Amino acid sequence: MRLRALFVLLLAGSAAAQQRALFDVDDFVDPRQHDVPLFSSRLVIGGAWNFVDDYRPANEDVGFVHVANSFYVRNFQFDYKHSEVLGEDPPPLHACACDPPIYFPTPPPRDATPAAPPAGSRNTLQAAWYVPVGGEDRIPVMLRYRLTWSRQAFDVPVTAPQSDDVLSRRSGREQTFGLDGDVYVPMFGRYGYGSFQYAKNSRRGPVEDRTQQELVYTSRPPGTTWKGMLFRATLSVGAVSDRGGTAINMINPYFEVFLHERTTRANFHLVWSPQFLNSGARGWETTHQIALFADRALLLKLVR
């Protein structure tokens, strides 16, 4: 019975999966809502406790500023997004006086969850295509398919083992290429929404290179409303490579409360997103990520 309940939950739940950052607010705009091209610039500001970056716990609380510029024309959407994650400075690397040098702290082993990249700035480009799907007996539903490419560069100071003198800096970069698409599937006699995400994340430096691939299904049940607030719960389940083990090693329920404030035209989000991650070295670990942030349009222009 419990297994069955879990199965139902897995299928009926959904998650705004973490391929996109937690603070990257929904930007789905049904092309049927605008007859002319549309440009929008949006600012997001907030903070997150126990921040998780692409299924890698950062083990710190962060603040963030995010600007999303989106252009919608017909059934297409193009985005340029810039985000600044503000956390503690990365701890310096200590290098031993040996050849080749060994850096401390040593990076997590190959069968462990990789460390999140240092807090910093990230640029993202996206292109999306909206596709109507449906028959005669209901309004066609609009699904979105999207390509994402993001890039982040960082550098870390290197000091001598017994001193704080910076000997050099080691740089690194990380880029992610992702695909995600909505699905509309029959489920228990009704239709339900979900999304598939695939992403390949490659990091070079500052000490070692790691590449992880993610394949995640997110089930997206209907939200609900109470006293002017919107609520939703989603559930993502997936496999993330390069951390030991195979099969499903990521489960991510996601709960969000959304409030649109009429006077300021700002939108407030409260998110609780516990991530259950499994690695060969440390087994299942849970990170309770909580975020509070607000977004507001900086510019909204219909190009008539």
Q: What residues line the site for another protein (CB under 8 A)?
A: 14, 25-30, 32-34, 38, 40, 42, 70, 132, 136-144, 182, 184, 193, 195, 220-225, 228, 230, 232, 256, 258, 260, 262, 265, 267, 269, 295-297, 300, 302
Cβ at position 174, least distance to another protein in Å? 28
**Between 137 and 164, CB nearer to another protein:** 137
For residue 166, the cross-strand partners are 159
Cβ at position 238, least distance to another protein in Å? 18
**Between 131 and 248, CB nearer to another protein:** 131
**Between 50 and 195, CB nearer to another protein:** 195
**Between 77 and 113, CB nearer to another protein:** 77
Cβ at position 101, least distance to another protein in Å? 48
Cβ at position 214, least distance to another protein in Å? 20
Cβ at position 265, least distance to another protein in Å? 7
Cis peptide before 92 (omega within 30 of 0): no
Cβ at position 10, least distance to another protein in Å? 17
Task: State how far the alpha carbon of 124 is from the alpha carbons of 19, 94, 130, 185, 211, in Å.
Answer: 12, 32, 19, 30, 18
**Between 186 and 228, CB nearer to another protein:** 228
**Between 174 and 182, CB nearer to another protein:** 182
